[in-house]
Structure 1
Amino acid sequence: MKLAYIVALAAGLAAVAPASAETLLRIGYPGTGLDDRPFGYGDYIAIGHVKQLVEAEFKDQPDVKVTWTFFRGAGPALNESLAAGQLDFAAGLGDLPAIVGRSRGLATEFLASAGSHDPLYLAVPPNSSIHSVEDLRDHKVAQFRGTNLQIATDRVLEAHGLSEKNIRFVSLDSNAATAALVSGNVDASFGGSEYLDLAKHGVVKIIYSTKNDNPTLGRNSGLYVTADFEKAHPDYTAKVVEAFVKAAHFGADEANRQDVFEIWAKSGLPAESFATDFKDERLAHRLSPVVDDYIVARYKDQAERAKAYGLIKKDVDIDSWFNTKYLKQALTDQKLEHYWPTFDAKGQKLTDGEVEQTRAATN
């Protein structure tokens, strides 16, 4: 009787238990679209999300479930989630928050560049007396503190003879900064392509862009995996990188220019803003997964500046952070080893890449 009960109980438990253990593959993205829409923009990560390319890599593995979380609090909020063990991948995480996280012991590995040469725009009210970066002295300026926007802004100020001590900064996220600028609660705001549509309609005026300045200015971001996940699931990590390289390839192809802008428009920003943002610029210039001398130099420089500015307390080992074996394999598998242009540490182009050579041959 007792044996029969145990057998029956075991059979019942087997009936309700899952056939196989589910593996969650948790991706975090540092930002949202307008009105907190769960869509990114401006990078190939957002393309991979909309086209569900990561999910496609696991179509034959129903036990793997891919989840995405979009953080309105950007990099700092994503770092908190990483520290709490709630994410496996940080996709598109900006350089400063990633460096801060590493300095505080977050065990991540840098898999690929997720964006580079991302320009910074300085927006002011249309009737403002501010006409240059130098004119910002003693004014109230919105800045998303703790994100890659902060250290990028600091570098712009430094290049124009100013520092944070000369500015009255107000820490606001992108949506709040835009509202504060339009309402007149701040005198200026540093940001990205979110200001271009407002400028088109005369709501704000763009008075400066890093696109016309030193090529090492601007913002950079990366694709990261937690060390624990990579160690436990190297095969899954490889698939994720394969997916995002496919996204980058799609995004870098000029034949897909309008499609890319329409994908980003799911964020709530109009496609026309991205057309303006990328005017006279090739998509491949920014949408590249390649870790070249430029990327390595930028992260080393940003780490040094973060310490000098008091944003971190100790040196950060950058060289050991890069784990590009998965990227190299994905590029080889997809025959894209020489597809993207590469740049030296000072931001000067070293090679055009096959994407540029193909364009030149067809012109």
Structure 2
Amino acid sequence: MKILKKLSMLLVVSMIATLFSACGTTQNSETRSKKDVPKSISISYVKSPLNVPSIVEKREKLFENEFSKDNMKITYPEITEGSKMTEAVAAGSLDFCNAIGATSVILAAANGVDIKIIGVYSRAPKAFTIMAKDPSIKSVKDLKGKKVVGPKGTILHQLLLGALEKENLKASDVQFINMGIPDGVSALLSGSAEAALVAGPSVDNAKKNGAHVVTTGEGILDATIVIGVSGKFLKKYPDIAKRYLKVHDKSLSFMENSKDKAYSLTSEETKLSLEQVKAMYDLYDFNPKVTDKDIKDLNDTKDFLVKNGMLKKNIDIKSLIVNIK
């Protein structure tokens, strides 16, 4: 009888110990879960030239709807320059670059910034142009000896050099002056430059003031804009990055199923007319999947940077791309 009592007591003690152990495991699991969730997520917000997914995500509070259940705060710093975005990533103040030029990512990565590409934001070769006002400038060949203005080290600059090469011309065959798009358009319209590198709504505005398109990026480059993420953030919070892309997919579904609403939101945010938004919308491919063609375009961009002395260190493009879906 004593033996049975001892066995019973041991069994009870064992059950209690197991119960407390399970509770401790649950608490540890909950603690770990909380630690694995950041308090806030910073996502760059760039609405121009026509970043419809970003506009839908912000206006429809798609990220807030996804992450508020974990008490995460969403911030949208309006950083419009790619170099400034990568600086913020390096400083730890920006987690996701929602729409950043591949040029900026490649240059930053080559300079030691821990940044990764988790998707393509858009491709819009027809939205990037070389424009002129003089009616005698009808083709890229006519740019020889002319003054061309535009932003250096960008997709537009890459377009100019690619267009010249296609016509067996060299960079030295034109007088290139580094200038932002608004100032470039002003220089073109005032006659202080014969050609300008123009993208987005500025193309339509320049046309209304007598300028015309000499060429677009079609057949020269894909004008790839990507979705970037801090490599440090991605390593620490891979599940958050996955959920981020799911939200991005929701914005694309919204654009497909509620197109008129998407047009309206974009018009309100960019101050473009609905007609302008609709005309520009069809120039964009927002499919986020990174294809072999995208990788080729990214490698072409890298080669462009090396060829023009802007990239001194070689970098493996595929090492920058992370498939997290």
**What is the TM-score of this pair, normalised by structure 1?**
0.72
- 2 CA distance for matches of 1:190 and 1:75? 17
Equivalent residue number for residue 214 of structure 2 = 207
CA distance in 2, matches of 1:287, 1:108: 21
Which position in structure 2 is the counterpart of 1:25? 41
How big is the shift at 1:47? 3.1
- Secondary structure of 2:77's counterpart equals strand
In structure 2, what is the equivalent of residue 318 of structure 1? 317
Give the residue type in structure 1 aligned to 2:237. Answer: H
- Pick the structure with more helix per residue: 2
Partners of 1:190 and 1:200 in 2: CA distance: 13
Return the match for 1:57 from 52, 61, 66: 66
Match of 1:268 in 2: 271
Does the CA-based 8 Å contact 1:122-1:189 persist in structure 2? yes
| Structure 1: gaps (5+ residues) | 1-19, 34-39, 329-363
Tell me, in whole angstroms, the C-alpha distance in 2 between the residues paired with 1:269 and 1:185. Answer: 27
Cα distance 1:220–1:46, how it changes in 2: closer, same or farther (>3 A)? Answer: farther
Are the equivalent residues in 1 in contact too, given 2:114–2:230 (CA < 8 A)? yes
Conserved 8 A contact 1:123-1:195: no
Q: 1:261 to 1:180 in 2, by over 3 A?
A: farther
What is the aligned partner in structure 2 of residue 132 from structure 1? 139
- 2:149–2:196 CA contact under 8 A, matched in 1: yes
Amino acid at match of 2:68: K
Amino acid at match of 2:253: H
How has the CA–CA distance of structure 1 residues 224 and 192 changed in structure 2, closer, same or farther, with 3 Å as cutoff? same
Evaluate the alpha carbon distance shift between residue 263 and residue 231 of structure 1 in structure 2; reply closer, same or farther with a 3 A threshold.
Answer: same
Q: Which amino acid in the other structure matches residue 112 of structure 2?
A: G
Tell me, in whole angstroms, the C-alpha distance in 2 between the residues paired with 1:202 and 1:175.
13
Gaps of 5+ in 2: 1-34
- Secondary structure at the aligned position of 2:68 is classed as coil
Please state how far the C-alpha of 1:323 moved relative to its aligned partner: 1.0
Greater Cα radius of gyration, structure 1 or 2:
2
What's the CA shift string for 1:37-62, capped at 9, x where partnerless? xxx62453343233332222113233
**Match of 2:137, SS?**
coil
In 2, distance between residues paired with 1:47 and 1:193?
18
1:174 aligns with 2:177: no
Please, which of 61, 70, 73 is the counterpart of residue 78 of structure 2?
A: 70
Separation (CA, whole Å) in 2 of partners of 1:32 and 1:138: 36
Please list the CA deviations of residues 250-281 of structure 1 after superposition, one character each: whole Å capped at 9, or x if unmatched. 33x2x5444433333221233323333355x6
- Measured in 1, the distance between the counterparts of 2:209 and 2:77 equals 34
AA aligned to 2:189 is V
Q: 1:44 aligns with which of 50, 53, 56?
A: 53
Q: Is the CA contact 1:83–1:106 (under 8 Å) kept in the aligned structure 2?
A: yes
In the alignment, what sits opposite 1:303?
302
Distance 1:244 1:228, change over 3 A: same
CA separation of 1:196 and 1:309: change in aligned 2, threshold 3 A: closer
Q: 1:90 aligns with which of 74, 81, 97?
A: 97
Asked if structure 1 preserves the Cα contact closer than 8 Å seen for 2:119 and 2:290, the reply is yes
Shift of 1:313: 0.6
Do 2:50 and 2:200's aligned partners in 1 also have CA atoms closer than 8 Å?
no
**Which one has more relative contact order, counting CA pairs under 8 Å at least 6 apart?**
2
Across the aligned residues of Structure 1 and Structure 2, the Cα RMSD in angstroms comes to: 2.5
Q: Name the residue aligned to 1:146.
A: 153
Q: Residue 3 of structure 2 corresponds to which residue in structure 1?
A: none
Task: Please give the alpha-carbon distance, in whole angstroms, between the structure 1 residues aligned to 2:147 and 2:137.
Answer: 11
> Partner amino acid for 1:221?
I
Equivalent residues of 1:199, 1:206 under 8 A apart: no
Counterpart amino acid of 1:24? S
For 2:43 and 2:171, locate their aligned partners in 1 and report how far apart those are by CA, in whole Å.
Answer: 33
Return the alpha-carbon distance in structure 2 between the equivalents of residues 187 and 269 of structure 1: 27
Match of 1:292 in 2: 291
1:193 matched to which residue of 2?
200
Q: Write the distance in 2 (CA, Å) between the matches of 1:185 and 1:80.
A: 34
Total equivalences in the alignment: 288
- Percent sequence identity is 22
State the TM-score, normalizing by the size of structure 2.
0.79
Task: Kindly provide the CA deviation profile for residues 227-270 of structure 1, in whole angstroms up to 9, marking residues without a partner as x.
Answer: 1111222222122111112222333x2x5444433333221233
Q: Note if contact 1:90-1:224 (Cα within 8 Å) is conserved in structure 2.
A: yes
Residue 241 (structure 2) pairs with residue 237 (structure 1): yes
CA distance in 1, matches of 2:301, 2:310: 11
Q: Which amino acid aligns with 2:162?
A: R
Partner of 1:123, secondary structure, is strand
Tell me by how many angstroms 1:319 deviates: 1.4
Residue type of the partner of 1:49?
K
Structure-1 separation of matches of 2:254 and 2:176: 38
Q: Are residues 1:223 and 2:227 paired?
A: yes
